[in-house]
């Protein structure tokens, strides 16, 4: 409920300033900043604090007046933080202020005996059916306290929503999940249905609990597929190799028989066969082209009236005698 600003209290700026100066000194109080009503006939004045150690803080002076009076009196003077002041965080108990990173070497964090995340060990909660139990295990002979169902659920929520859960940036950009990775070590018990431990030394989650739907770039099935390069064909013009061809004996006999038949044939018959084939093919070619066939020609014979010339024998050259005279030989 908003109160109406009292006019008498709002005008009592000098009264409020004198009270603030009496508390902080003349140089510790600055100009008047604001005024607001806190109740019926109750008004608060705010002044600037000039102390360097309290930057952004304000002096708050509350004045009030009695009914049917015209004078305001001072009720309270206090230093309050402003919008830009530096204040301490909200107070928390020591057990709630601790964080996992606060534990150092040699430090000890006490555990609350009434912590609902732990239950007595004789109940067997969290241990019954564990495959890692020794053969002589009996309820009450193991650990004094074990993880309860509440503690197990809180751990599952914390791991799933953390940096190794499915909502992390690493998992969103991963191509495969941890459930198909060969580096995953499964957990026993109910938590093994959703979580495991990473055993890849190259993964940022090595030796840490990861969700099965978490993933990273170090998956075991990330295999590089190499494609053959389309290089030019290289022709070797310097090297050579000896190749031996084996011809079957039957092919050699057939080739030799054909050569012998071709040698025994009469050359004249072969020529005649060739000529006859050419003459036989000529009419067919002329019929295809439409040209008239040439007249056959006969070989020329010598005329009967012309006398036959007998062969003559050349005379031997004259011989010379010893005295140099030439003698003619008669036939």
Residue 298 has what pLDDT? Answer: 53
**Is 103 buried (19+), middle (13-18) or exposed (0-12) by CB count in 10 A?**
exposed
Q: Which residues of 65-78 are buried (b: 16+ CB within 10 A; e: fewer)?
A: beeeeeebebeebe
| Distance, CA of 17 to CA of 36 (rounded, Å) | 15
| Distance, CA of 214 to CA of 196 (rounded, Å) | 10
3-state secondary structure (DSSP) of residue 316: coil
Residue 26 has what pLDDT? Answer: 84
| Distance, CA of 202 to CA of 302 (rounded, Å) | 115
DSSP per-residue codes, 212-276: TT---TT-TT--PPP----PPPPP-SS----------HHHHHHHHHHHHHHHHS-HHHHHHHHHH
Per-residue confidence of the chain (331 residues) as pLDDT tens digits? Answer: 467 888 888 899 999 999 999 998 888 899 999 999 988 899 999 999 999 888 889 999 999 999 888 889 999 999 999 988 888 888 888 778 888 888 889 988 888 888 999 988 776 555 444 545 555 555 556 678 888 999 999 999 999 999 999 999 999 999 999 999 999 999 988 899 999 999 999 999 999 999 999 999 999 999 877 776 666 777 777 777 787 877 777 766 676 666 665 555 555 554 544 444 444 444 554 444 455 555 555 555 555 555 555 555 555 555 555 454 444 444 4
In this predicted model, what pLDDT tens digit does every residue of 162-189 receive, in sequence order?
999 999 999 999 999 999 999 999 998 8
Helical H segments across 80-223, by residue range: 94-97, 149-160, 169-172
The residue with tokens 């039957």 is 250
Query: What are the structural domains, with CATH classification, of the chain?
Result: 7-80 (3.10.450), 152-211 (no CATH)
The CA–CA distances, whole Å, from 119 to 133, 149, 175 equal: 18, 9, 41
Yes or no: say if 281 and 273 are a contact pair by the CB < 8 Å rule. Answer: no
Element housing 32 (H / E): strand 29-39
**Is 8 buried (19+), middle (13-18) or exposed (0-12) by CB count in 10 A?**
middle
């Amino acid at each position: 409920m908003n109160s109406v600003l009292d006019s008498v209290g709002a005008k009592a700026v000098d009264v409020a300033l004198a009270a603030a100066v009496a508390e902080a000194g003349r140089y510790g109080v600055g100009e008047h900043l604001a005024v607001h009503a806190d109740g019926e006939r109750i008004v608060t004045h705010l002044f600037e604090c000039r102390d360097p150690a309290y930057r952004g803080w304000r002096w708050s002076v509350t004045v009030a007046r009695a009914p049917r009076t015209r004078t305001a009196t001072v009720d309270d003077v206090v230093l309050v933080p402003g919008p830009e002041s530096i204040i301490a965080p909200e107070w928390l108990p020591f057990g709630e202020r601790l964080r996992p990173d606060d534990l150092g070497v040699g430090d000890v964090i006490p555990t609350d005996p009434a912590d609902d995340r732990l239950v007595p060990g004789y109940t067997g909660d969290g241990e019954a059916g564990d495959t890692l139990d020794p053969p002589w295990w009996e309820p009450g002979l193991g650990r004094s306290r074990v993880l309860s169902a509440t503690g197990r659920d809180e751990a599952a929520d914390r791991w799933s929503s953390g940096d190794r859960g499915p909502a992390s940036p690493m998992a969103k950009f991963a191509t495969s999940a941890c459930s198909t990775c060969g580096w995953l070590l499964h957990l026993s018990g109910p938590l093994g249905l959703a979580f495991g431990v990473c055993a890849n030394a190259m993964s940022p989650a090595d030796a840490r609990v990861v969700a099965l739907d978490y993933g990273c770039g170090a998956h075991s099935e990330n295999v590089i597929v190499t494609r053959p390069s389309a290089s030019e064909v290289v022709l070797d013009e310097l090297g050579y190799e000896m190749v031996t061809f084996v011809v079957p004996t039957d092919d050699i006999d057939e080739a030799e028989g054909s050569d012998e038949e071709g040698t025994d044939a009469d050359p004249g018959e072969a020529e005649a066969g060739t000529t006859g084939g050419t003459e036989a093919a000529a009419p067919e070619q002329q019929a295809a082209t439409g040209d008239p066939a040439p007249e056959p020609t006969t070989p020329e014979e010598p005329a009967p009236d012309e006398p036959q010339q007998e062969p003559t024998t050349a005379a031997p050259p004259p011989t010379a005698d010893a005295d140099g005279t030439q003698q003619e030989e008669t036939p």
